[in-house]
Amino acid sequence: MRELKREPILTDTFESVNLFTPVPGSVYIYRVSSEDRSGHTGQWQQSCKDVQFIEVTTESVSGFQISGGEEEFFLRSAASLSRLLAPLGTGRVLYVDITGLSHPTWAALIRAAIAARMEVRAVYVEPYRYKRSAAPLEGQIYDLSARIAGIAPMPGFATISTTEESVFVPLLGFEGARFRHVIEQVQPSNERMVPVVGIPGFKPWYVFEAYMGNRAALEETSAWHHIEFVPANCPFSCFYLLQELAQYHPNSTLKVAMIGTKPHALGAVMFALTSPNRIELIYDNPIRKEGRTDGLDRLLVYHVGAITAGAGGNSMTTGVGRY
């Protein structure tokens, strides 16, 4: 068992978005999507006059634009992202609200902000509930994605593996179709597959629905024997698990499929920033359905900079040979 006392969980939890406000002098980057939980910044802009808010208005596979400007900032270009972040100032607190942003956009922003020596904090608002399928099929309990655009390297996170050996680590959500698609594309060894399920989930019953949604692929591969559990809303627990897996498999690359919660994906991105040669991020670029969630629940602030500034090869925890 991992020594939890050596693993700080650097998260501020607020039971309501009304209980949180950005710190004075900070910068807050966000996007308002079709989900209720992404539209909470309006009240802060009314009361936080000393906080600079930057709204991402459009996103594409290659970049994004912000309110009040026509320039497109390219995800693969450090120089392009620097034009956005450099004027904000070194050492300044930067909140990246990952709730309404796509994975490629928020990951690229966090990477660039760390390079710019800003104090990075990620913000995530849990949904009150997910939209259920009207006619659920196997692996489709919730109606979340319209289709899968296809697996492609995350901009700025492409990895050239130095070893043929790999361990496949799917971060599971509810969508069994996405899990099956990734398995078909990656072709992992069943014996070297370590699925991760969020326990506890955002709601107590979500763990059962995660199993139900992914049941067919878990049974076919026998991967359910190797499942690991970390809290669904905790990127740090996911980060520490990946560290432990990397230590136990020192000659292997971790192929991490980000098909579950955004906090778990954030944990994988943090590990990629601290140990880029040990991980390959796999993302299938789902096209999200409109109105996929209703309402909003807890707001969590993750102190990403505390890990990405200090974590590295010497901070790996000690495993007990479970993999």
Work out the pLDDT band at 149, boundaries 50, 70, 90: low
- 43 with 109, same domain? yes
180 versus 162: the higher-pLDDT residue is 180
Concatenating the DSSP letter of every residue in 138-178 gives: TTEEE--EEEE----PPTT-----S-S-EEEEEE--S-HHH
- 202 with 281, same domain? yes
Q: Which residues contact 178 (CB under 8 A, 6 or more apart)?
A: 145, 148, 259, 284, 286
321 versus 218: the higher-pLDDT residue is 218
- Could you give the CA distance from residue 105 to residue 3 in angstroms, rounded to a whole number? 33
pLDDT of residue 129 exceeding 80, the answer is no
Residues in a beta bridge with 94: 27, 120
Of 62-76, 180-194, 308-322, the one with minimum mean pLDDT is: 308-322
Q: Please name the amino acid found at residue 232.
A: A
In a domain, 60, yes or no: yes
Work out the pLDDT band at 147, boundaries 50, 70, 90: low
Q: Which range scores top for mean pLDDT: 149-158, 198-207, 237-246?
A: 237-246
Provide the domain limits for residue 136: 131-292
Q: pLDDT tens digit string along 277-323?
A: 899 999 988 766 566 566 688 899 999 988 876 433 333 332 333 33
The pair phi, psi for residue 68, each rounded to 5°, is 85, 5
The mean pLDDT of the chain is: 83
Do 270 and 307 contact (CB within 8 A), yes or no? yes
Do 241 and 275 contact (CB within 8 A), yes or no? no
The pLDDT value given to residue 78: 93
- Could you give the CA distance from residue 43 to residue 165 in angstroms, rounded to a whole number? 50
State both tokens at 228.
Answer: 């690991």
- 125 with 34, same domain? yes
- 115 with 247, same domain? no
Q: pLDDT tens digit string along 78-104?
A: 999 999 999 998 889 999 999 999 999
- 282 with 187, same domain? yes
37 versus 172: the higher-pLDDT residue is 172
H helix or E strand, kind and range, residue 216: helix 206-221
**In 3D, which of 198, 200, 207, 202 has the Cα closest to residue 241?**
198
- Indicate whether this model's pTM tops 0.85: yes
- 82 with 103, same domain? yes
